[in-house]
Amino acid sequence: MKLGGRLCCVCNQRRAALKRPKTLEQICRECFYAVFEEEIHQVILENKLFKPGERIAIGASGGKDSTVLAYVLSELNRRHNYGLDLFLLSVDEGITGYRDDSLETVKRNELQYGLPLKIVSYKDLYGWTMDEIVKMIGLKNNCTFCGVFRRQALDRGAALLKVDKVATGHNADDIAETVLLNILRGDIARLSRCTSIITGEDGPIPRCKPFKYTYEKEIVMYAYFKKLDYFSTECIYSPNAYRGFAREFIKDLERIRPRAILDIIKSGEDFRIATSTKMPEQGTCERCGYISSQKWCKACVLLEGLNRGLPKLGIGRNQGLNSDAKKDIKKDDRTKSIESKQCGSLEF
């Protein structure tokens, strides 16, 4: 946002070039870069996100969040001597005209930032692409498949890279949306952990969110002013995703009161779950060995449905399979196909 002849409120020397969406301060580009990067550095220090010598995979989609994260982490790693080995980790869901194009951006980022890149694909891991899944399931529930498969694919890619943590580009807007979604869905288990800046510490590979308190608008402005190379097209299969409605609500709140995003995150952090509430117990999937609160993880249930021509088998709250379905599985020779897939071939 251009701001006439006003001076930057930080340095009082250069002309203000933008108004920060987060604080409404009128600030010049140079000071914006400095405060943006310093805020992220302080979040990393205060939350002890990294330790010297760790191998860190940056979840890279080619979009603005992950591209800025890769750029800023590379800069901070050099500037403050974090001592990290950084890698780019991408998931190819198999979406023609979307992911294939965005992966070209990630490949350019690999050269621009000098970070090694690893790409894992749904086709190799599960035997299906999202294009194939959408042909079978349609547009209504495809995000369920993609979300479940992507989370597990990131862990599998991280295991191949032998990293200590995965850093994702989830920003303040994303986390505020997730708080609202979990309230709307009554998902107590996820509500209790969705604001955690580090998750999965009891799982195979922890994940952290350096952008937890960083506004999406400021990430966009940073990428624009820095002229970073990123892919900006939305997924062609997610125009009616449930999250989109929460996103619009957050945007409306932000227009009225910019602080609302941080306030929602703070509310999520301060929620106390009643001790009488029964929480799912974490175990491992009997089929692939991945973390799961049921006998079969959600990915294996969904994959079983796809392979048996019953794509709605794992849709909804029922995470596992009922007894009739299990009997059918034992009788159905086609279930052997799941055992030949890459899903579950990695030890966690």
Q: Residue written as tokens 């960083």?
A: 214
Q: Pinpoint the alpha helices (H) of 286-335.
A: 298-307, 323-331
The neighbouring-strand residues paired with 55 are 85
Tokens of residue 8, six digits? 């930057």
Nearest residue to 252 (alpha-carbon basis) of 176, 182, 170: 176
The neighbouring-strand residues paired with 15 are 7
Write the DSSP symbol of residue 279. P
Maximum distance among all alpha carbons in the chain? 77
**174 annotated among ligand-binding-site residues:** yes
Write the DSSP symbol of residue 238. -
**59 annotated among ligand-binding-site residues:** yes
**169 annotated among ligand-binding-site residues:** yes
**252 annotated among ligand-binding-site residues:** no
Name residues whose C-beta falls within 8 Å of residue 266's C-beta, 6 or more positions apart in sequence: none
d(Cα 48, Cα 50) in Å, to the nearest integer?
6
d(Cα 39, Cα 178) in Å, to the nearest integer?
22
Q: Which residues are annotated as a binding site for ATP?
A: 59-61, 65, 91, 169, 174
Q: Which residues are annotated as a binding site?
A: 59-61, 65, 91, 169, 174
